[in-house]
Amino acid sequence: MDFINDPRFKGIEKFDRKVWLSSPTMHGDEQRWVDEAIQTNWVSTVGANINEVEKEMAQYVGVKYAVALSTGTAALHLATKLAGEKMYGQARPNAGTLAGHRVFCSDVTFDASINPVAYEDGESIFIDTEYDTWNMDSVALEKAFEIYPDVKLVVLAHLYGTPGKVEEIKKICDEHNALIIEDAAESLGAKYKLNGQWVETGSLGSYSCISFNGNKIITGSSGGMFLTDSKEDADKIRKWSTQSREAAPWYQHEEIGYNYRMSNIIAGIVRGQFPYLDEHMEQKKEIYFRYKEGLNDLPVRMNPYDSEKSEPNFWLSCMIIDSDAMAHHVRGEQDELWTSCPGKSSPGEILAAITAFGAEGRPIWKPMHLQPIYRTHAFITTAGNGRGKSNAHSIGARSDVGADIFRRGLCLPSDNKMTVEQQERVIEIIHRCFR
Ligand SMILES: Cc1ncc(COP(=O)(O)O)c(C=O)c1O
């Protein structure tokens, strides 16, 4: 499809510089802390930058301890291992702590949220999503506990920086004595009203994790953090992340170790970024509301949130097309086909159009229960078992909210360096797609 010469897009210019989905935004302070680390020779996985970002992050999120790690994935892995060990005991060196156990998991999330369940030899069971916040459906979670009453762990992500229905989910988990791993990788800075009290995401789990990946609201180029109120748990994660060395003059090991600690150079970048977290959130919020306003005459809606109980960090702005305004769009495993239709459009067409003009969008994260690697895993919806629901003999409605949001939704360019003019051009391109 030649969008540039398509008469529907007449008069729209290509961007001369790429407009990103969400790219790093450096401010200069980062250089100071990186330079200081080099000048003082603290170029290692110990140093002042690490100590400082741990202290600042724990304070900001409102937890007692933060452990700086190499990635959000490393934080999630160690949190998952720790939860497994708490519930089922220390595993043999060649086995995961979740061997033989099931874990309930957010379904519409990035796979790094839930792969650690597999690293620890557990089996993830995917819980469907609700339309109000695009996060784990608490009704489906309740159904899952009816079907699998023995489950003791829930992995809960806040998609695109929007908190889910945490109060309901915590209540259900408390009733079943289940621990929560909170994946706040995308939601640093987002707030939630828990039992009438505003708190930060990252303080809502039994163990919580954040990410400083290059596309996140603040970045260290990479990096992650484990957050907890328990000194014992923080010490354990610090030990595991530095090869599980025991207190002996030689290398002595009673537990399996990992090389997961954050570098003092990366920590320097995070340290320089941290003062700009609020500014980044403010910029992202403006982007979200500019889209909301600019698209309000189209048959689309923005990714929703509960304004009474949450204040997202607005990391990614997304939209979803009304069902009756969807043009044909089918996806295979690696390619897709879509057609244009007057008055309608599809994520395929809109993403192709904005790409052609030099901006970056992305499909909604494909639900985990639809991923080839996890197709044999259970998927629970508000109606119970979500697998095997298509029936050649009786046609009925299937509920699969995650698949529906994936089908009709898309992530819009949300870079906080995008100018108003650039964003208006993206909005105009989306309008033309519906012509
Ligand atoms: C929801 C979610 N969880 C986990 C991760 C993994 O974090 P990292 O890339 O720092 O390993 C990411 C992003 O990268 C994410 O978006």
Same fold, 7-24+277-371+399-433 and 29-274: no
Residue of 69, 70, 73 to mutate, ligand 1, most atoms within 8 A of C-beta: 73
Share of the chain above pLDDT 90, in %: 97
Both tokens assigned to 330: 């089918």
What confidence category does residue 390 fall into, taking pLDDT thresholds of 50, 70 and 90?
Answer: confident
Say whether pLDDT at 173 is over 90: yes
Mean pLDDT estimate for the chain: 97
Q: What is the pLDDT of residue 69?
A: 98
Both tokens assigned to 182: 């909170």
Residue nearest to atom 14 of ligand 1 (CA): 213
Residue nearest to atom 7 of ligand 1 (CA): 72
Distance CA 316, CA 70 (A): 23
Q: What's the rounded mean pLDDT across residues 4-26? A: 97
Q: What is the pLDDT of residue 134?
A: 98
Amino acid at 42: W
Q: Where are the beta strands (DSSP E) in 166-316?
A: 179-183, 191-194, 197-200, 207-211, 224-228, 300-302, 310-311
Q: What is the pLDDT of residue 393?
A: 80
CB 416 within 8 A of CB 280: yes
Closest CA to 345 of 406, 405, 431, 413: 431
Q: Where are the alpha helices (DSSP H) in 218-309?
A: 231-241, 264-273, 277-294
Residue nearest to atom 8 of ligand 1 (CA): 72
Distance CA 252, CA 361 (A): 49
Q: Which residues line ligand 1 (CB under 6 A)?
A: 71-73, 76, 109-110, 112-113, 157, 183, 185-186, 211, 213, 224
Residues ≥6 apart with Cβ < 8 Å to 19: 358, 359, 360, 413, 415, 418, 422, 426
Q: What is the pLDDT of residue 64?
A: 98
Could you read off the pLDDT of 212-242 as tens digits, one per residue? 999 999 999 999 999 999 999 999 999 999 9
What confidence category does residue 327 fall into, taking pLDDT thresholds of 50, 70 and 90?
Answer: very high
The ligand 1 atom at the shortest distance from the C-alpha of residue 75 is 11
Residues ≥6 apart with Cβ < 8 Å to 37: 43, 47, 48, 49, 264, 265, 267, 268
Q: What is the pLDDT of residue 384?
A: 94
Say whether pLDDT at 344 is over 80: yes
Say whether pLDDT at 1 is over 90: no
Residue of 69, 110, 414 to mutate, ligand 1, most atoms within 8 A of C-beta: 110
Both tokens assigned to 402: 């995650």
Q: What is the pLDDT of residue 398?
A: 72
First and final C-alpha spacing in the chain: 15
Say whether pLDDT at 397 is over 80: no
Distance CA 98, CA 91 (A): 8
- Kindly calculate the radius of gyration of the chain based on its CA atoms and give it in whole angstroms: 22
**Strand 409-411, strand 362-363: pairing:** antiparallel
Residue nearest to atom 10 of ligand 1 (CA): 72
Q: What is the pLDDT of residue 118?
A: 98
Both tokens assigned to 259: 């090389």
Concatenating the DSSP letter of every residue in 63-121 gives -SEEEEESBHHHHHHHHHHHHHHHHH-PPPTTS-TTTT-EEEEESSS-GGGTHHHHHTT
Name the β-bridge partners of 321: 300
Say whether pLDDT at 391 is over 90: no
The answer to whether domain 7-24+277-371+399-433 has CATH 3.40.50.2300 is: no
Displacement of CA 141 from its chain's centroid (Å): 19
Q: What's the rounded mean pLDDT across residues 336-351? A: 97
Residue of 114, 182, 211, 366 to mutate, ligand 1, most atoms within 8 A of C-beta: 211
Q: Where are the beta strands (DSSP E) in 146-228?
A: 153-157, 179-183, 191-194, 197-200, 207-211, 224-228
Say whether pLDDT at 394 is over 80: no
Could you read off the pLDDT of 361-375 as tens digits, one per residue? 999 999 999 999 999
The answer to whether domain 29-274 has CATH 3.40.605.10 is: no
Between the CA of 218 and the centroid of ligand 1 the distance, in Å, is: 13
Residue nearest to atom 3 of ligand 1 (CA): 113
Map out the domains of the chain as residue ranges: 7-24+277-371+399-433, 29-274
